[in-house]
Structure 1
Amino acid sequence: MTKVYPNSLILGSPAPEVDACAEPAALTVWRKSLLFNCSGFTVFDAKGSLVFRVDNYSSESRTEIVLMDAAGKPLFAIRRKRLSLADHWQIYEGEGAAPAARPSFSMRKHATLFSSKALARVIPCSRAAGEAGPIYSVEGSFSQRACVVYDERRRPVAEVQRKEAVAGVSFGGDVFRLVVQPDFDAGLAMAVVILLEQMFGSRAAPLKG
């Protein structure tokens, strides 16, 4: 069976200004749970080690998704914003189970009547008055596995890429690459991927060869 974890790293966008010794993390995302009768994601690093997992037992109408590390520890809880008519989700650290828990980020699908590369925006949720953080924009085509997360200075911090065929075997859309720059949280990058799947996955067009 052809291995699904990363092959050589190829960045399609300019690298951000980071330490010369640091390198981007090349992850392979498999749109499949390792557990029977579950949907979700399984994510490997460049050495083939499991780093993230999502195992969903509930129906397609789910309103909460939990991103876990390899040991099953919750990293982010992702919930659809209540009373929201649009695709608007909130990202909590850990399980986010406490009644007073506040989201760390919110992500909203970009809505426009005109053709646009913009897919979504990721906005930090202030925990105190005047507290702020960088706003990230997602552009490109998730259905074609070709989109980039940019920071406010238009530096690419994460990128979804097609997975190159190995020995003539194509992986299709269920296996793709997530390249994360060293100054960006890989867990948050994967949370963004999960929400892109929620927003665009059901309408994803077949990948072009």
Structure 2
Amino acid sequence: MAKVHPNTEEYCIPSVEVAGDRKDKSRVLTVWRKSLLFSCSGFTVFDDEGNLVFRVDNYGSGRAGEVVLMDAAGKPLRTVRRKKLSLGGNWKIYNGEEAVNPVYSVKKQYAKAALVHVAACRRRCSSAAAGYEVEGSYARRSCTVYDEQRRAVAEVQRKEAVGGVGFGDDVYRLVLRPGADACFAMAVVVVLDQMFG
């Protein structure tokens, strides 16, 4: 069986540094739709050296419509919350565990080619704010995040082991283009999983 994470002895690193974290080179994270904790759902994310970078642990007793993205040590980085009175098509991304002043608003696009629109929040989130579009299919693990100039920022891709054996839908790659914010990209993946997972 192919390994999902090569460095099992290095589960905790002190910050959200991604191996090869240089401005001129794409970085690749391995996203595993599995929590490190028993009887929890969530995500475990490794860099290209096998170090734990992000994790999400959803406990059965947690609040519905809320997911916390943490670093390897368990420090909350972003909280993703479903907007109240929304039918699942509107989410907010907050810094840490804050409940006010969202950083981004994510809306499902029903009539357009894009899956979702991610708007940066200034004082209030609005669809007119500069933002990002996500196109493709999250269900097929083939989608791209574009900025307002239509430059690819991040991409979700299927991951295959050496020899062409597939990992299935629970293990995939998150490719971060040069200068991309890994924390933002992973928060968008968490929202996509909540909307389309």
Q: Is the 1:5–1:27 contact (alpha carbons within 8 Å) kept by the matching residues of 2?
A: no
SS in 1 for 2:115: strand
1:104-123 map, 5 Å:
104-112=103-111, 117-123=113-119
Q: Deviations over 1:124-170 (max 9, x none)?
A: 11138xxx963100000111111000001100000000102324532
Q: How much has 1:83 moved relative to structure 2?
A: 1.6
SS in 2 for 1:153: coil
The equivalent of 2:152 in structure 1 is 156
The equivalent of 2:41 in structure 1 is 39
Q: Deviations over 1:154-201 (max 9, x none)?
A: 000000001023245320000000001232210110011111111111
Relative to 1, partners in 2 of residues 1:172 and 1:103: Cα closer, same or farther, differing over 3 Å? same
The percent identity for this pair of structures is: 61
Query: In structure 2, what is the Cα distance between the partners aligned to 1:96 and 1:61?
Result: 14
Counterpart code for 1:67: L
Counterpart code for 2:34: K
Query: In structure 2, what is the Cα distance between the partners aligned to 1:108 and 1:87?
Result: 6
Relative to 1, partners in 2 of residues 1:172 and 1:59: Cα closer, same or farther, differing over 3 Å? farther
1:103 has 2:99 as partner = no
The equivalent of 1:175 in structure 2 is 171
The equivalent of 1:3 in structure 2 is 3
Counterpart code for 1:44: F
The equivalent of 1:17 in structure 2 is none
Relative to 1, partners in 2 of residues 1:73 and 1:157: Cα closer, same or farther, differing over 3 Å? same
Query: In structure 1, what is the Cα distance between the partners aligned to 2:180 and 2:138?
Result: 20
Q: Is the 2:26–2:178 contact (alpha carbons within 8 Å) kept by the matching residues of 1?
A: yes
Runs (5+) with no aligned partner, structure 1: 7-19, 202-209
The equivalent of 2:77 in structure 1 is 75
Q: Is the 2:106–2:118 contact (alpha carbons within 8 Å) kept by the matching residues of 1?
A: yes
Q: Is the 2:23–2:179 contact (alpha carbons within 8 Å) kept by the matching residues of 1?
A: no
The equivalent of 2:65 in structure 1 is 63
Q: Is the 1:5–1:46 contact (alpha carbons within 8 Å) kept by the matching residues of 2?
A: no
Q: How much has 1:110 moved relative to structure 2?
A: 0.8
Structure 2 length-normalised TM: 0.84
Relative to 1, partners in 2 of residues 1:87 and 1:21: Cα closer, same or farther, differing over 3 Å? closer
Q: How much has 1:88 moved relative to structure 2?
A: 0.3
The equivalent of 1:85 in structure 2 is 87
SS in 2 for 1:193: helix
SS in 2 for 1:55: strand
SS in 1 for 2:24: coil
| Structure 1 vs Structure 2 CA RMSD | 2.2
Counterpart code for 1:146: S
Query: In structure 2, what is the Cα distance between the partners aligned to 1:75 and 1:21?
Result: 21
Counterpart code for 2:144: V
Query: In structure 1, what is the Cα distance between the partners aligned to 2:32 and 2:152?
Result: 22
